Amino acid sequence: MKIIMLGAPGAGKGTQAKMIADKYQVPHVSTGDIFRANIKNGTELGMEAKKYMDQGLLVPDELTVKILLDRVAQDDCKNGYVLDGFPRTIPQAEVLDKALTELGDKIDYAINVDVPDENIIKRMSGRRACLSCGATYHIEHIPPKKEGICDRCGSELVLRDDDKEETVKNRLDVYHKQTQPLIDFYTEKGVLKEVDGTRSMEEVFQAITEILG
């Protein structure tokens, strides 16, 4: 069972990917984690990726796919995996598709966690974080007992730059330009499944497990 998770930033796809991985006993493969592991272990691919990252450049698609294929070729992936954070663009999807086809393999499901932009903006701009102890809150869903103050350590809560409305809107714009076309790509392949990401975390997961069976 080889699954790709799609969805805008803040749609909750990372959380769902972890839950799928736990339930179906397959690895949750995040490209960020693989890069870090390869760099930490000083692998040839990791060192090559580091050259780009040190210059603030994006790692080329071919190299990213090489690192990814190296990861999914490991024993723990033989029953499948959940890909989170890749592919982000059509060229990446095409390189991945070609590489898997050459191995006689393919993606079984591309699951799109669909959440309207206005919900994401509200969801993310309502987040508050404690920089002292790392606790996170949401002004509507998980408010602190005292406004603006961390329940755990009493420090002041802040709205992180990443969660500011303007930043969220920019990230959504990039997502729509680059990643939204993947929905058409995987629809044409006949593997796209959509779930309503505005529902509760449990309801979204229930909808995904019904798809996966």
Q: Which two tokens stand for residue 88?
A: 């982000």
Q: Would you state the torsion angle of the CA atoms of residues 180, 182, 187, 191, taken in this order, to the nearest 10 degrees?
A: -130
Of 18, 50, 122, 171, the active-site residue reads 171
The dihedral sign for the CA sequence 120, 123, 126, 130:
negative
Q: Which two tokens stand for residue 40?
A: 């930490």
Of 66, 71, 123, 127, the active-site residue reads 127
- ω into 87 cis (within 30 of 0): yes
Of 160, 164, 177, 189, the active-site residue reads 160
**Distance from C-alpha of 113 to C-alpha of 116, rounded to nearest angstrom:** 10
Q: Is 36 a catalytic residue?
A: no
DSSP state letter for 155: P
Exposure of 122 by Cβ count < 10 A (0-12 exposed, 13-18 middle, 19+ buried)?
middle
**Distance from C-alpha of 160 to C-alpha of 149, rounded to nearest angstrom:** 15
Of 66, 88, 123, 128, the active-site residue reads 88
Q: Is 152 a catalytic residue?
A: no
Q: Which two tokens stand for residue 107?
A: 């993606």
Q: How many CB atoms lie within 10 A of CB 191?
A: 17
Of 2, 13, 66, 123, the active-site residue reads 13
Active-site annotation, residues: 13, 88, 127, 160, 171
